[in-house]
Each structure stands twice: as structure tokens, then as C-alpha cells.
A and B are shown apart, each in its own frame.
Chain A
Amino acid sequence: MPQFSPQLLQSLDAVRAGATLAVGKAAPVHALLALLSAGRRGIHLVGVPTSGFGPDLLAAGGALDRIETGALIIAGHGMPPNLLRRIEAGEIAQIESSCPLIELQLVAGASGIDFVHVPGLAGSDLLKRRPDIRSIPHPYETGTDVFVAPAMRPDVAMIHGLRADRDGNVVVSIQNEERLLARAARHVIATVEEVVDEPLTGIADDQEVIPAMCIDALAVARLGAWPLALPGAYGEDRPAIGAWLAASTDDASIARHMTGLRPPRPEGAHG
């Protein structure tokens, strides 16, 4: 395991047993490892919109009770093996969902409205597994019905961004849903590659800023997404992900692998 900063470890007090924790595809791997090392259990995870390496890490560490997500997939690497094993063993309950469904629920949560109209779904078996999705009369078109789903406001969202300024505004890629997560969650824990002294200017056209008013805790974590890619900073470490998958044969094997899990030292680093 890597070393964790006191700020990061302290911020994890917000993630209590039974808390709903939302994590995006570009998972904050360093912070999730910190969560495991702090012994957190009983987490209800929302994988936005899909669940890959980050959720697999939490599953491997036995931290998850429940997962709600649009798909179980580590992009380019197949299904997350530890998550799958524990779901199949009945140790993690799976809440059926779909990517746009989760996103619409988060938009409603981020907008302070109670529910959202969801298109599609008619005849899908998803409806049998999600009694919280209701069909109601369309309020403006007589004779038709619409499906509605409740707004989603995760207790905590954890994100990893490229950088933050001294005010706590956080720069993230637009490729994933970190900004939506941060807007919808009641409490946001962010890690960033670095904190810069200058104001945030020259934001690239594929980046955006999460306003500091959405951020409750901030800590620096270099290579905080490793071994996943951080768009705009570094690519994924394929051998490291491959080694993770190879070690994911059973709980004991992955537990052993996890103790040695840390990013490679940057070139030129000493000590």
C-alpha cells in the first residue's frame, strides 16, 4: 500500500458504514486504497455510469455491501473479477441500472428536483428489479404515461482531478462524470495531482472546473488514479492492471497482491 496523507485519512471519516459512495470510471484509486486501509466496510457503491477497476479494488478489500451501476467493465480488460466473484457468491448485492438512468438520477440530484422522467424502459426486465421506477400519467399529454425515477444524492462522492487552486477549485477532464458527481453528492472528497498557486486560467477545451463550493475535502495524491489513466496527465499502466487481473483468482491471492500495490516511483526520485 502507498503512504496516505493525514488530510486524506481524516477526510474519510465522512464515509461511514452504509453510506452511499459514488465513484466515476476514472476512479480515485489512491483514495480508495486509503479507504481500504482505514478499514471501511459496508459501503453502498454507485459506479457512474459503469464499474471497473476502482470498484473492483473495493470489492477485493471486502468493503462493499451493495453496488448500483450500468455495467461491470474495466474498459479494455473485461469484467472486474473480484466484484464479479463476490456478486456471484452473494456477498455484494447488485442493484440493476443503466448508464443514462444513473446519470439522469444524478442530474435530478444535482438540480435539487425530486425525480426525473426517464425515456425508454418499456418492457425491460429492469422494471421488475427496480420498484422505485414508477410509471405515472404524463402530466401534459393525456393518454400517455411516463417512467420516473427518484433523484440520486450520494452521501459521498470521491473524485481525482488534475489540479486545484488555493481556493479549492478542482480541474477535471470532461470525458467522465466527475463534475456531475460533485454537484449531486452531499459530500465530496477530492484528490488532485497538485495544488497550484496561480488562478486557474488556460483550462484546456477537454477540461472543466468543479467549483470549490462543491468540494468538502481536498488532498494531494500524485499518480492518484494509477494504474488507471488520468486524461490530460498520464495513460493507464497496462502491466499493472494485467498483474491485478492475474492475481484476482481468489480473495487470499488478491489480498496478498494488494499489500504490494503502489505506483512506480517517478524517474529520478530518491529515498
Chain B
Amino acid sequence: MAETYSPEEMLTVLCARQVRPNDRVGVGVASPIATAGAMLAGLMGIPGVRFAGHGLAKAYFRGSHEASGFAQAGRMDVFFLSAAQIDARANINLQYVGDPERPKKRFPGAFAAPIYYYVMGRTVLFRERHDPRILVDKVDYVTAAGHGTPRHARRGWPSRLLTPLCVFSFNREKGLLELESVHPGQTVESVQAQTGFPLIPAEGFHETAAPTARELDLLRGPVSERMKAIFP
């Protein structure tokens, strides 16, 4: 019989699965899920992976300016990022819900997103919740855009959006998020009911593989132990 797991564990495992051999992985300071996912990726024995992020590796950066320089110079292959709103075109909003001039709710701010979203090799978006107020047709404020402009260089692109219900992949030609897989127990219809934009199944659309026993063992053992020390 398959093991049971929480939506949070699923999301963590999905983060880990986005890490590829030889990736240089960046995680923001206040992202427990992505941090745990990166740790899990490290324990899964993916070869050549190197980390930058709170609790993942000793920071030999001089402050945030030098860390940004590493990213801008192309030394980050994959970066995990969350947002208050994400839309069908992978535009992300970290800042204002409602009219940006008179916002209904303010979030802390853009941080590095208006630059990082364009310079990281791949940006993996993730959200612990999936509902039509978060996954919207059009974000209320574009902190950083999923598309580029023809005349400005762009080093990297969004690659996935991971949620407790499904995985989206970003189709660069169309500039759209497409439904790559739905998690066990979900259907296209059930996910659509929670999504503020029309779902387009990606080529090879499938059901997300459930977390394996090994992934869950590592997550509940060594990853959980290390996380307690970092996010007490």
C-alpha cells in the first residue's frame, strides 16, 4: 500500500526533483519548503550539486550585493521563488494585491525578483496554496515578467510552477504556463476549479509521481532534523 504524505511533503519533494546534476542551487532566506527541497536533493545523491542559501551552505558571499553579483554573472542554475500572485504568463507579483495605487494588501516588497527572475538559469516558482486568488489570470502588479522584450537580453526563464495540486511547466514559445501533471487524487477539472486562468495541458501531460518511500524517509529523517536547527 502506498504511504500517505502531506501536501507540504509533496511540494518539498517536487522542489527536490527540479534539481539536476551539476546545478548550482539558490534559495531565498525565508523559504523553508524550498530549503528542505534543496536539502532533499542533496541527500538523493544528485551528482555535482552545489548550494547557496541560508542553512544550506556556509555563505562565503560578502553581503547580499556579492550574492546578487554571482546570480547576475550566471552562477546560479536554479532558483526557488514564491509570490503573492502568479498569472498564466508566469508574471509574478510579490507586492500589491488590488489596485497598486491603493492596494488592498501590501506585501514586504520586490526583494531581488525584478532582477533575479531574468538572470537565474531556471526559476522554479512554488506556492504552498493553490486557489484562484493566487493563480490569477493577470497579476495586479508585475514585480517581474515571465516574458522578455525583444531588445533586452534575458539570461534565464521561469521553468516550473509547483503547487499542492499540480505542476505547471513554462512554454517559452507561447509564453504560457501549461499543465504538466496533476497530483494523485486531482483531475484537470478539480485543478481548474481552483485556478484563475484556463488550463492548457502540456505535451506529455500525466499524473505526478507520488513521493517515493526513499524521498519520504529522507525528508522525515535527516532533512527534518536539519530544518529544526535552521527554522526553530
Task: List the interface of chain A (C-beta within 8 A of B).
Answer: 49-50, 69-73, 75, 79, 84, 87-88, 96-101, 103, 106-107, 118-126, 135, 143-147, 174-177, 180, 208
Contact = CB atoms under 8 A, between A and B. Distances in A.
Nearest 4 A/B pairs, CB to CB:
A123-B145, A71-B109, A120-B118, A120-B115
B115 A100 contact: yes
A72 B64 contact: no
20 contacts: A50-B108, A50-B109, A50-B111, A72-B106, A72-B109, A98-B112, A100-B68, A101-B114, A120-B114, A120-B115, A121-B115, A124-B143, A125-B141, A126-B110, A135-B152, A144-B151, A144-B152, A175-B63, A177-B65, A180-B65
Nearest to B63: A177
Nearest to A173: B63
B215 to A, nearest CB: 29
Given A50-B111, A100-B116, A125-B142, A145 B65 contact: no
Nearest to A102: B65
A207 to B, nearest CB: 11
Interface residues on B, range: 35 or more
B27 to A, nearest CB: 15
Contacts, number: 120
A73 B68 CA distance: 19
A100 B119 CA distance: 12
Given A79-B106, A97-B110, A103-B64, 11 more contacts: A98-B115, A100-B64, A100-B115, A103-B65, A118-B115, A119-B72, A122-B152, A124-B144, A125-B141, A135-B151, A144-B151
B120 to A, nearest CB: 10
B144 A73 contact: no
B109 A123 contact: no
A118 to B, nearest CB: 7
Interface string B124-138: 000000000000000
Interface of B: 29-30, 59, 62-65, 68, 71-72, 91, 100, 106, 108-119, 141-145, 147-149, 151-155
Contacts of B59: 175
Contacts of A106: 65
A87 B95 CA distance: 14
A120 B119 contact: yes
A71 B113 CA distance: 11
Contact of A174 (B62, B142, B151): B62
Given A70-B111, A123-B142, A123-B149, A99 B29 contact: no
Contacts of A73: 108-109
B227 to A, nearest CB: 15
A233 B71 CA distance: 30
B62 A208 contact: yes
B47 to A, nearest CB: 29
Contacts of A97: 110
A187 to B, nearest CB: 21
Given A70-B111, A107-B65, A126-B110, A100 B141 contact: no
B149 A122 contact: yes
Contacts of B64: 49, 99-100, 103, 177
